Structure 1
């Protein structure tokens, strides 16, 4: 099994949900980002979702927009993003999924991008603005280089599209539990159990739920019905709040991540 399948198989055996941690690559600078990623992995994250900074992140709320801007301002590039993955692979075999946008894939050449990502140690590709109906070139490249694909289902996704999405994904399905963009919310969205059940009618892959999940109690609530729980903004906020204390940032992030990870048990 690939690393993504192994991670979800392990958490299934342990009768818990996988904790998927999102951080933006290069936020707030390369070295601090590397330390931050290692901190959430040390805290027990089962999958690392690594945002590739982009100037027009359409699916991201203000927290993650600012993270991408910090990374870009600090000189983060596609090549440096791959270097970050290679550095993480020196000490960890936790699955890494690139959270990216199609222009970044296309502009580098689809097959070149996929091959480079795989060679660096990336396990999966989630291209936010690429629907499976238009993803043939990406799907072919990912199949050729054994890079798993992750596709999104939203609350507004019609039932008629679920078979197509389920067929295109090879890593897991990401259920975006809210309309709109990423960000911290006071409570989890309604109807998550029903949505996850509906998705499972069309795929045997794990279903991870994200967008708006930001506390241990919220993680625990979603973990009861999903195979994985994705938390991003709550972690990225720790980085934002410690920009003047970059040496101490990883320790603070590890504490927050460990508390959230505990909710998935």
Structure 2
């Protein structure tokens, strides 16, 4: 059984919600990636999403774009990221999900990419610019490697499509909570809770909400309607500032939260 499925089965038994931090590999130097992954697990991460810097990140907001620019300026490569994840895997047990655009995978070679991330201990991949209709270019390789493709749905995704997308795979469904790119936000569309509730009613796999979630209030407001949250831009900011105290406070908000 994939680590992602095992983790969510355990959370369900404990009636707890998931907190998945996102970090940009190579931001601050590729050599700090292993230590950051270890730190995030110690602080209570359910799983960790590791971003691959890319020159044209269409889904990323300013914070993550700047982190990607810093990472590329540091000479970060996909091969280097995979090597650091392999080093961290020997020291951490939580699932690791790699977020990358399709172009770096093509350049690396699809079969070789899947083979190498499997050996490194990656449990899932998020490829935001890969349409469901074209995912067969990589899903056979991922399925053979027992790596989950994490698919996304948005506020504008029709219910029939949500049902079709959520029926694929056994990882989790990424519910994009805003119309637009990533980045911290002070408020959300008033229909968000109903949107998440509808997805939960129709998805056979866990539903995680992400994009723009940045504080304790938002997390507490959203989690009754889903299985957990993915927090990106705020985590990237706090790591860039080396503000571990605020990072620990943010990540502790769900530790005692019960499932509703």
Output the TM-score relative to the length of structure 2: 0.93
SS of the equivalent of 2:76 reads: coil
Decide whether the 8 Å contact of 2:167 with 2:204 is kept in 1. Answer: no
* CA-CA distance at 1:145 after TM superposition: 1.0
Distance in structure 1 (CA, Å) of the matches to 2:63 and 2:180? 14
User: 1:7-86 counterparts in 2 under 5 A?
Assistant: 7-86=7-86
Where 1:20 maps in the other structure, the secondary structure is strand
Q: Distance in 2 between matches of 1:185 and 1:120?
A: 34
The 8 Å contact of residues 223 and 229 in structure 2, kept in 1 or not, is answered as yes
Runs of 5+ unmatched residues, structure 2: none
Matches within 5 A, 1:1-265: 1-240=1-240, 242=241, 249=242, 252-253=243-244, 255-264=245-254, 265=257
Q: 1:129 to 1:60 in 2, by over 3 A?
A: same
The Cα of 1:257 is off from its aligned counterpart by 2.9
Q: CA deviation at 1:258?
A: 2.3
Paired position in structure 2 for 1:246: none
1-side partners of 2:25 and 2:31: how far apart?
10
Deviation readout 1:166-204 (Å, 9 max, x if unpaired): 233431100000011111111244323322232234431
94-103 or 156-165: which moved more?
Answer: 156-165
Structure 1: runs of 5+ lacking an equivalent: 243-248
SS where residue 49 of structure 2 aligns? strand
* RMSD, aligned α-carbons: 1.5
Which moves more between the two structures, 49-58 or 98-107? 98-107
TM-score (ref. length: structure 1)? 0.91
Runs of 4+ in 1 over 6 A off after TM superposition: none
Displacement of 1:226 after TM fit?
1.0
**Would you say the 8 A contact 1:96–1:121 is kept in 2?**
yes
